[in-house]
Structure 1
Amino acid sequence: MNPDVQAKFDNYPKDARRQLETVRKLILAIAAENKLGYVEETLKWGEASYSAKGGTAIRIDWKPKDPDIIKVFFHCQTNLIETFKEIYRDEFEYEGSRAIVIPLSANIEQVPLAHCIGLALQYHNLKNLPLLGV
């Protein structure tokens, strides 16, 4: 793990850190499964950020003002959230055109977050397809 990201994670409450680490592992696993190559892990705007060649950045964070949730952020100038709202209307709560809201109590493995992450990691290859080729 990038040392800056590790330091950020170390400062989260236990339940938030656990959920964020699960999302991080999911991002890395999806990139490996799809043979997307190196995933850059950095801090951007104080949030853990992940990107692979051919994709758009995914950021994840927890904030004290919303202590029961984490957010998975996607670039707001893409049509990712719009697509997710179309195909996963009832599975998630959304924050505008930029984030999926995940409760700390959610079982990430039982929601379609993996599919959303896969679309983001391959976004530039899919962006011209209707509904990103879904």
Structure 2
Amino acid sequence: MSAISPPFQSAAVEQLFARFPDAERAGLLGLRRLIFDTAAGIPDVGRIEEALRWGQPAYLTPDTGSGSTIRLGLPKAGGYALYVHCQTTILPDFRSLFPDAFDYEGNRAVLFRPGRTPDDDKLRLLIAAALTYHLR
């Protein structure tokens, strides 16, 4: 898994990504890159910490505390997913903007199928909302 940008922050996260099936790994790496790119464009977010939480890659804002944790993973139904805290309004707010643009799992996840290109512009809004949730 060379040329991953940004480089993984821990061997445990890198090993987990290496174990994902190829098609799902490609999608998850795209979401990972989108998280870091989105965060870089929001000065109030600060540094993104990449760690394992609940056995999944997780993205936190430890220096500023601006955001709610974002996780990436493989849902039981197949494909791959971006998860947010289910007791926030992050996903309900996003879903109200784009009710038919994505597949959702309750108030906790946006679901994706390998081989389908997600709408990065819309996903940036979701990621930005999660990364700045505590600034509201």
Bin for the TM-score computed over the shorter chain:
0.7 to 0.9
Deviation at 1:89, TM superposition (A): 0.5
Counterpart CA distance in 2 for 1:81 and 1:124 is 15
2:77 counterpart residue number: 66
SS of alignment partner, residue 108 of structure 1: coil
* Structure 2 unaligned residues grouped into runs of 5+: 1-7
* Structure 1 unaligned residues grouped into runs of 5+: 127-134
Q: TM-score, normalization: structure 1?
A: 0.86
2:48 counterpart residue number: 39
SS of alignment partner, residue 94 of structure 2: helix
2:66 alignment partner, one of 41, 51, 54: 54
Counterpart CA distance in 2 for 1:109 and 1:21 is 15
Deviation at 1:104, TM superposition (A): 1.4
| Identical columns (%) | 31
Q: Which amino acid aligns with 1:60?
A: L
Q: Across the two proteins, how many residue pairs are aligned to each other?
A: 124
Q: Which amino acid aligns with 1:66?
A: A
| Residues 23 and 108, structure 1, Cα contact 8 Å, conserved in 2 | no
SS of alignment partner, residue 17 of structure 2: helix
2:97 alignment partner, one of 87, 104, 107: 87
| Residues 91 and 111, structure 1, Cα contact 8 Å, conserved in 2 | no
SS of alignment partner, residue 49 of structure 2: strand
Counterpart CA distance in 1 for 2:77 and 2:51 is 23
| Residues 34 and 120, structure 2, Cα contact 8 Å, conserved in 1 | no
Please tell me whether residue 78 in structure 1 is matched to residue 54 in structure 2: no
Q: TM-score, normalization: structure 2?
A: 0.85
Cα distance change, pair 84–109 in 1 and its aligned pair in 2 (3 A): closer
Cα distance change, pair 88–109 in 1 and its aligned pair in 2 (3 A): closer
Q: Which amino acid aligns with 2:126?
A: C
Structure 1 stretches of 4+ with a deviation exceeding 6 A read: none
